[in-house]
Structure formats: structure tokens, C-alpha cells
Amino acid sequence: MNRSFNEEEETYYYYSEQMLNDKVVIKENTFMTIDDNVETIISVEHLNDLDAEDFTMYWDDLLSPIQSYRIIKDIYELYQEHSLSSFLEIIRELSVSYTSALMQSREENKQRIVDGIRETFNSFEVVQV
């Protein structure tokens, strides 16, 4: 698994060549809230011809590097051990929140989700290790 950092967004992106082929990426973002708390979000994003999906796996207090590593590693292992459709089903069940473009009733909301996830795949430089 490769990791790329987007300084502008202060976000790490985790991926493999196969994940990129399947349009799947794991994102990790740590940020300061308005009340000066530090939080971490770990999510999985997936894009295909029919839908764009965002699975939030963790969104809470700041994680230590080893905690983040373990969550991301577990997600990656699930990806490696299952077919794409099974992986997405498992991730949906394990996520703390889930957003899908197809779930939206308003067209502008659908497009916002699709555009946001498309932008994810343009937000980082693919690094080959």
C-alpha cells in the first residue's frame, strides 16, 4: 500500500495500484475544530459509473499514529481479502456514517457528492514504492 500527502488539504491518501483501478482510496485527515479540539477522520471513498460513495470509518478524537495505522491496515486487509462488492458491503456495515450520490433526492446534492469524490482522485500524487 502506498501513501501520499496533500499539504493543501493536510490529508493522507492510502492506495494500491489495484485500489486505484477499482476507484477506491482510504483518506486520513486530522484537523482542529472550532472549539480547539483535534479530531481525526478516516474514510473510504469509492467511485464508479453509477455511484460515488463515502464511508466514514472513524471520526472522533485525535488518534496516535499507531492507532491510525491499525485502522488503515485493517481496512486494507479487508480490501485484499474480499471481492470489491464484498469489501464495499463490509465497509458499509462497519462505517459510522455512509453517504452515496444515489441516496440523494436532489440532483445538486448527487452532483456535489460525485464531484467531491472525483476530486479526491485528483488531490494526490500517485507514488510508486
pLDDT in tens, 81-91: 999 999 999 99
CB 24 within 8 A of CB 84: yes
Task: Determine how β-strand 2-6 pairs with β-strand 11-15.
Answer: antiparallel
pLDDT of residue 128: 58
User: Which one, of 107, 28, 15, 101, lies nearest residue 68 by Cα?
Assistant: 28
pTM of the complete model: 0.87
pLDDT higher than threshold 80 for residue 121: no
Q: How far apart are CA 116 and CA 120, in angstroms?
A: 6
CB 57 within 8 A of CB 91: yes
pLDDT higher than threshold 60 for residue 129: no
- Mean pLDDT in residue range 39-49: 94
pLDDT of residue 127: 61
Looking at per-residue pLDDT, the higher value among 14 and 6 belongs to: 14
pLDDT of residue 32: 83
